[in-house]
Amino acid sequence: MSDLRRRYLDLLAGCLSRELFLDQDEPWVDPADRLEGRDWPATAETMIGRRRLDNLIDSLATVLDDDIPGDLVETGVWRGGAAILMRAALAAWEDPDRSVWVADSFNGLPPPDAVAFPADEGVDLSGIKTLAVSQAEVASNFARYDLLDDRVHFLEGWFADTLGVAPISTLALIRLDGDLYQSTWEALDALYPKLSPGGILIVDDYGAFEPCRRAVHDYRDLHCVHEEIVAVDWTGVWWRRDR
């Protein structure tokens, strides 16, 4: 990755997280919490924190520098910050072909289906209105950074209804941010078989939510996925699919 590309993505990450403006916008926030993604920002386009943003930048640079085939996708996007960073990377690399897939209900999380997915019992985030961000608002956030175009594809609805039928052939990078067992499992089941060798899988909620972590390990065990899981911070992890 060239220094110019890195400087652009670093600056964008600082804007998307509002890390650069904490003293003005949210002076009451502990910068360490924003670094680790432990608070819910008032205005920022992402809540994942700078460590996970840096991991995303490094992962994007890896798959683009190595020319790993496929598009980029995030499942569970909140205000769109991480997906905006994905589209920015394609612009920085002057990539002419890849798309960014933005998958979300755009209406918050579903109530847990404890019958079909017992691991989700008692983890009900469906009433948290802060997590319900409309597609129109996310699109507006892309446009704010001049990154909304016909290579940004929105998949609106529950993952069970959208991911399996989405016209995605191959993927170079997958970022999962679905919190629950069901959301994580459905995303892995639909998308991981499309991840190219050398592609990268990132899981945002691995450390924060036991159901998410269990879904990751159940999927890996079932499909004999043995690549090392690498920690990013207190919750995020990633691995690179074996070439």
pLDDT tens string 103-120: 999 999 889 998 999 998
Give the count of domains, the chain: 1
Answer whether residue 124 is part of any domain. Answer: yes
Q: Name the nearest CA neighbour of 112 among 210, 177, 181, 208.
A: 181
Answer whether residue 148 is part of any domain. Answer: yes
For the residues 224-241, what does the mean pLDDT come to? 98
Q: Can you give the pLDDT at residue 51?
A: 97
pLDDT tens string 48-59: 999 999 999 999
CA 25 to chain centre: 24
Answer whether residue 15 is part of any domain. Answer: no
Answer whether residue 194 is part of any domain. Answer: yes
pLDDT tens string 126-142: 889 899 999 999 999 99
Answer whether residue 30 is part of any domain. Answer: no
* 25: confidence class by pLDDT, cuts 50, 70, 90: confident
CB of 20 closer than 8 Å to CB of 14: yes
Instruction: Give the global pTM.
Output: 0.96
* 28: confidence class by pLDDT, cuts 50, 70, 90: very high
Q: Does 1 score more than 80 pLDDT?
A: no
* 203: confidence class by pLDDT, cuts 50, 70, 90: very high
Q: Residue 165 is part of which domain span?
A: 48-240
The span from the CA of 175 to the CA of 151, in Å, is 17
225-231 long-range Cβ contacts below 8 angstroms, 24+ apart? 225/192, 231/207
Answer whether residue 42 is part of any domain. Answer: no
Q: Kindly report the average pLDDT of the chain as a whole number.
A: 96
- The domain that holds 193 is classified in CATH as 3.40.50.150
Answer whether residue 9 is part of any domain. Answer: no
Q: Can you give the pLDDT at residue 237?
A: 98
Answer whether residue 135 is part of any domain. Answer: yes
* 171: confidence class by pLDDT, cuts 50, 70, 90: very high
Q: Does 234 score more than 80 pLDDT?
A: yes
